Amino acid sequence: MPQVTLTVNGKQHTVEVENRTLLVEVLREKLALTGTHVGCDTSQCGACVVHVDGISAKSCTMLAVQAAGTSVTTIEGLAKPDGTLHPMQEMFREHHALQCGFCTPGMVMSAIDLVNNHPGGITEQEIRDGLEGNLCRCTGYHNIVKAIAAAHPLMHGKA
């Protein structure tokens, strides 16, 4: 079986995988990082979004072997070691942008990448369009959109 070495949340791991093993299976089953979720089997829901070398990726649609040599950040790696939340996590809490919490890790990871990609500012429509790859069944997105808009100035040092 192939061996894959990758860095997850700053820590290097070497794991044995099958050729068909998905990145999300490595995270959840080999590394016990169960914050990354699987909500569908057609790459539609985005519950599995992580950052691979700083860019959001659906970890259910990426083979583990493709992640060899990369640096992966999952929801567990966002807060500072002292527990201080990332501004996006903090705004999700402040604006009640989560209910059951299942889509939340992928939603937060996607939202961070979205805001990173709009340094000059982001409109409501750009947020809604940018969430195209993430499903939430609880919130109706209203508060998620609000949270992301509120996180933008915090992430870009404008608040």
Partner 1 sequence: MAFEGIGASVRRKEDARFLNGRGNYTDDINRPGQLHAYVKRSDRPHAKINSIDTAAASKAPGVVAVFTGADIAAENIGGLPCGWQIHNKDGSPMAEPPHPVIAVGKVRHVGDPIAVVIAETKQQAKDAAELVAIDYTDLPAAASLAAALAPGAATVHDDVPGNICYDWHIGDKAIVDGVFANAHKVVRLDLTNNRLIPNAMEPRAAVGDYDVNSGEYTLYTTSQNPHVIRLLMGAFVLHIPENKLRVVAPDVGGGFGSKIYHYAEEAIVTWASAKVRRPVKWTAERTESFMSDAHGRDHVSTAEMAIDAQGTFLGLRVSTQANMGAYLSTFAPCVPTYLYATLLAGTYKTPVIYCEVKAVFTNTVPVDAYRGAGRPEATFLLERLVDAVAYDTGIDRVDIRRRNFIPADAFPYQTPVALQYDSGDYQTTLAVALKNADWAGFEARRTAAKARGKLRGIGISTYLEACGIAPSAVAGSLGARAGLYEVANIRVHPTGSVTVFTGSHSHGQGHETTFAQLVVDQLGVPLDQIDVVHGDTAKIPFGMGTYGSRSLAVGGSAMVKAMDKIIAKGKKIAAHLMEASVEDIEFANNTFTVAGTDKSKTLTDISLTAYVPHNYPIDELEPGLDETAFYDPKNFTFPGGCHISEVEIDPDTGTVAVVNFTAVDDVGRVINPMIVEGQVQGGIAQGIGQALLEAAIYDESGQLISGSMMDYTMPRADNLPNIHVATENTMCTHNPLGSKGCGEVGAIGSPPAVINAICDALKDYGVRHMNMPATSGKIWSIINAGPSKMAAD
Contact positions vs partner 1 (CB under 8 A)? 18, 20, 28, 33-42, 44-45, 47, 74-76, 78-79, 85, 89, 92-94, 96, 98-105, 108, 124-125, 127-129, 131-132, 134-145
Whose Cβ is closer to partner 1: residue 6's or residue 88's?
Answer: 88
Work out the burial of residue 133: count CB atoms within 10 Å of its CB; fewer than 13 is exposed, 13-18 middle, 19 or more buried.
middle
- Side chain identity at residue 52, one-letter code: V
Nearest approach in angstroms of CB 102 to partner 1 is 3
Pseudo-torsion of CA 155, 130, 78, 2, nearest 10°?
A: -140
Nearest approach in angstroms of CB 130 to partner 1 is 8
Whose Cβ is closer to partner 1: residue 69's or residue 124's?
Answer: 124
Nearest approach in angstroms of CB 153 to partner 1 is 20
- The CB density around residue 126, as the number of other CB atoms within 10 Å, is 15
Beta strands in 24-152 (DSSP E): 49-52, 55-58, 71-73
